[in-house]
Structure formats: structure tokens, C-alpha cells
Amino acid sequence: MYDYSKLKDKISDNGYTQEQVANALKISKGAFSQKINGIVAFSQDDVVEISKLLKIPKTKIYEYFFTEKV
């Protein structure tokens, strides 16, 4: 399971709500909630779109999406 706490912080630091990110991905708020809470995996397209939206550099994607929960 991955730790998305840094991603959650990045979303709020950029002035977005999880609902706004869900809308940008064209998914429901509930579907996004399942992804950010580790119930359902983010797709590659999700990772790319969220990274563009939040201006996450390619070199930092691992930190936001693939850091394992300890």
C-alpha cells in the first residue's frame, strides 16, 4: 500500500480540493477518494494528469505516488 499523504498536501497547497482533482480526471469524488485512500490503484493516466495539474516534476512522481506506507 502506498502513502498518499504528500499528494494530499500537494493538492491543498495548490488550492485544489479532492473534488476538483476528481473533476479534472473526469471521475466521481467517490472514485477519487478510493484512489487517494489506497483502496483502488491510480492508473498511469491518472498519475500523468494529476502531475500536470499539480505541476509535479517527472523526477518527483515517485515521491507522490509510489512511497510505501510504513
Distance CA 3, CA 11 (A): 14
Contact 61, 55 (CB under 8 A): no
Domain limits, the chain = 5-65
Task: Give the pLDDT confidence score for residue 70 in this predicted structure.
Answer: 87
Q: What is the pTM of this model?
A: 0.93
Find the distance separating the first CA and the last CA of the chain, reported in whole Å.
9
Please tell me the predicted confidence (pLDDT) of residue 66. 97
Length of the chain: 70
Task: Render each residue's pLDDT in the chain as its tens digit; 70 residues.
Answer: 899 999 999 999 999 999 999 999 999 999 999 999 999 999 999 999 999 999 999 999 999 999 999 8
**Fold observed for domain 5-65:** 434 Repressor (Amino-terminal Domain) (1.10.260)
Residue 64 vs residues 10, 13, 28: alpha-carbon distances, Å: 9, 14, 21
Which pLDDT value is given to residue 7? 98
